[in-house]
Amino acid sequence: MHCHVSLIGRKDLNGEIYRQLRRAIVADQLRSGDPLPSSRDLASSLGVSRTTVVVAYERLAGEGLVEARIGAGTFVAEHVVGARREATKGRADGMLRSRRLWESISLPTAFARPAQFDFRTGLPDASLFPHDDWRRLLARSLRSDSDRAGAYGEPAGHRGLREAIARHIGISRGVETSADDITVTSGTQQGLDVVARVLLSPGDRVAVEDPGYAPPRMLFESLGARLVGVPVDGSGLIVDALPRQARLVCVTPSHQYPLGVPMARSRRQALLAWAERNNAAIIEDDYDSEFRFGGRPIEALQTLDTKGRVIYVGSFSKTMLPSLRLGFVATPPSLRSAVHKAKYVTDWHTSIPVQAALARFIDGGGFARHVRRVCRVYRVRHDIVTHALTHEFADQLEFVPSSTGLHVAALARTASVDDIRTVVQRASELGVEIHELSRYSVHSPSRPGLVVGYGAISTAHIEEGLHRLRSSFRC
């Protein structure tokens, strides 16, 4: 193992070797059982005599930090774990301070622990993922693209995947776009990030749905935007409440997050007209519209756009796995170049082998078959959950009708936000994890209620999980 030791400007050579190796051991950089370089190799690399290194090793051995094994070499001793507490002693906290904004943002904890009965939103069922097929596709991508493995890829993404995405959303959602206007991203959040970098200047106003998904709000604010929450009712975003000065509006028109309502066609047309009058852009987050369980398909907002003001953002986190970190942005041609450049300066490109595997998965028909298969499973879960909310919870909750996606919402009839928070805590003690509706509020008074996800929980566990949730109201 190579160990970095610097002797530049030092006089006590064996002392410096001893101190720097000791520091690495107590800081857990060198762990129990790790080999140290042979005294001959380390002496050669440092340009000192072997005796100098041997003396340093003997000092470490004298403290019990390393041990020599005949015929094998010198290794970090097995019993030095306690000494590592010294690593943080005396270390300066540092004078650097982040912007105050970052003090108000918390790291996610919603999925920090597994749940016996998991009704949290945003999660698909990983057991339904075609792991064997995916492994074969990924291995094929690594083999076939081995000649490019040492090179960087195109910031916009793997050409084959961009073509496959353009075809897929054209067929499944009616979105009119081309591969040239697709940028592959590491999920929806990065899609929003590159668009915001292209369109927003510090101080620009951004309108978001209230209630709505929190991470985009934090993203926009971190870029210096001024956030405006716009209320949502049973027909979606209330367009008349939009501020005229907004530069960007972020919406989930097909399945509003978290209420689950679709945006009415009249609202869609009003939103497009508003954007044209105010020279604003619209981000359409179409995060889980592949899963539809009744009624006529809802067209994407982008299909109604004749002025090039809608930026369509999609993700494979629900249809595939969140851990793959795959999403995309379909932009009007006028933004194509800038968005590609924004992706370049952000992280250059998303993993090429993973993109190539997904391209083959889509082109070979595997993706469509997978979506059809999981949709049948999710339909059953959707029906069980909606039936229970409509009947067994009718005295406590008002179900918000929804036939799309992997979650539904229910508003509390009489309970307060604090009452619902207590219910969620009681349910958690019974092994049930679920999100309260109030956590998605922006500026308006929080609505008491629950958001019930059914993507992650197995069908067999739903009824028992809901029974335990119901008992949490009775306490």
Give tens-digit pLDDT for 399-433: 999 999 999 999 999 999 999 999 999 999 999 99
Residues 30 and 174 in one domain: no
Residues 171 and 51 in one domain: no
Cis peptide before 211 (omega within 30 of 0): yes
Q: What percent of the chain stands above pLDDT 90? A: 82
Residues 158 and 278 in one domain: yes
Residues 178 and 239 in one domain: yes
Q: Are strands 236-237 and 246-251 parallel, antiparallel or unpaired?
A: unpaired
Q: How many domains, the chain?
A: 3
Mean pLDDT of 210-232: 95
Distances (CA, A) of 300 to 68, 305, 400, 467: 68, 10, 21, 37
Q: What is the pLDDT of residues 439-456, one digit of tens each?
A: 999 987 889 999 999 999
Cis peptide before 258 (omega within 30 of 0): yes
Beta carbons within 8 Å of 179's beta carbon, 6+ residues apart: 159, 162, 163, 165, 166
pLDDT confidence of residue 78: 85
Q: Which two tokens stand for residue 445?
A: 């008074």
Beta carbons within 8 Å of 309's beta carbon, 6+ residues apart: 272, 275, 276, 280, 281, 282, 332
Handedness of CA 168, 170, 173, 176 (dihedral sign): positive
pLDDT confidence of residue 81: 60
Beta carbons within 8 Å of 68's beta carbon, 6+ residues apart: 57, 61, 74, 75
Residues 216 and 336 in one domain: yes
* Cα dihedral value 402, 406, 410, 411, nearest 10: -90
In a domain, 5, yes or no: no
Domain that holds residue 453: 117-123+369-474
DSSP state of 200: -
Residues 186 and 307 in one domain: yes
